[in-house]
Structure 1
Amino acid sequence: MNTIHVAGGVGVADTAMASYDAALADANLHNYNLVAVSSVVPAEATVTSVDEAPDLGPAGNRLTVVEARRTLGPKDEVDFREGGRAGAEDAESKRAPRRRPDVAAGLGWATGPGPGLFYEVTGEDPDDVRARIESGLDAGSDLRDWDLPDRSFRVESAAAEPERYTTAVVIAAYGESESIL
């Protein structure tokens, strides 16, 4: 395992699980059993962002990953009211219309001499997700007292679709898959 591929995708479907599967398919990671690990990049690894993951082995194999995932369903809405506070105005005419939020998932990585870090964040605003990734990478490198000057980011986002589930994923896939049996 020398290369960690970072791929992302968006999926829309009638159930939460089906939208997740569709997002994985968009990243070409839908045929593996994903095993999540915490967010340390081995020292000997190279991290590369790709449009979609390459073939990493036979379907059904185990694949080690770090994953950022956000799913919104038909009832997930944000109610914006005048003044920005829920309950600020009870009169229907004073309410801002309900809107469907965006769905965003992001992964950042920091490397340097020795091991590195991934940091995953989800939310509604891609710019906010990226800013929180940067803060998280700073905190993680400070905690370990590691010098990690090389930084990259990947954020996937989409407008959540009404009456359906929308999922955004960004996944760091560690090397090749392995047999699960």
Structure 2
Amino acid sequence: MSLIRLVWGAGEGPTELSAFDAALAEAGVHNYNLVTLSSVIPAGPDIEVVGTAPDLGPVGDELHVVESSAVAAPGESVAAGVGWARSESGRGIFYEVDGDDPESVEAEIREGLAAGRELRDWRFVDEQVVVESATATDEYAGAVVCAVYGEGRPAPTEGRGRLTGERGTE
């Protein structure tokens, strides 16, 4: 893997899930199957803050991500954020938070990163935070921030078949 991209988006929809999907669409990752990772950054890849993902492979591919997302009901606000800290070796940590206030989300991310740095015997040299927020008007609103690892990978299909209405037939 050569790159981790930070992408984000906000969107509205008539349901919670459609608002989340609209936020993913703005981030450019709505046509992929997101596979959530924990929050450790390997030493190798660069991190690029891009906003919207480029084409990362065929529709339906898996994308490995560290994700923060949240949805708000009409009349409410929402915020999602991802922060990261890297050491001299390139290893690092992500910290993801969601809430209803962008400033509180950023403050909690920075507090979490500080605690994560204390747990590791690494010399940290870089820290950044991305927060996305939205206010729901007449519909639900969603906000998402994802750290996307590399490009899409084919989703596993072994052992899966098309249902025809009869048990055990394909």
TM-score normalised by L of structure 1? 0.82
1:22 aligns with 2:19: no
Match of 2:4 in 1: 4
Match of 2:166 in 1: none
Whole-angstrom CA distance in 1 between matches of 2:71 and 2:57: 27
Whole-angstrom CA distance in 2 between matches of 1:70 and 1:38: 18
Give CA-to-partner distance per residue, 1:141-174, whole Å, 9 cap, x none: 1112222220111100111224x21100000000
Whole-angstrom CA distance in 2 between matches of 1:148 and 1:119: 14
Whole-angstrom CA distance in 1 between matches of 2:51 and 2:78: 19
1:153 aligns with 2:129: yes
1:135 aligns with 2:111: yes
1:110 aligns with 2:92: no
**Long gaps (5+) in structure 1:** 75-99
Read off the aligned partner of 1:148 and give its amino acid letter: F
Read off the aligned partner of 2:53 and give its amino acid letter: A
Match of 2:143 in 1: 168
Match of 1:59 in 2: 59
Decide which structure has the larger Cα Rg and report it. 1
Does structure 2 retain, via aligned residues, the 8 Å contact 1:43–1:113? no
Higher mean alpha-carbon deviation, 42-51 vs 28-37, is at 42-51
Name the % identity: 48
Alignment partner of 2:101 out of 102, 125, 138: 125
Read off the aligned partner of 1:141 and give its amino acid letter: R
Match of 1:86 in 2: none
Query: Where has structure 1 moved over 6 Å in runs of 4 or more?
Result: none
Whole-angstrom CA distance in 1 between matches of 2:123 and 2:81: 22
Does structure 1 retain, via aligned residues, the 8 Å contact 2:9–2:143? yes
Read off the aligned partner of 1:59 and give its amino acid letter: V
- Residues matched between the structures, number: 155
**Long gaps (5+) in structure 2:** 157-170
Read off the aligned partner of 2:33 and give its amino acid letter: N
Whole-angstrom CA distance in 2 between matches of 1:139 and 1:45: 23
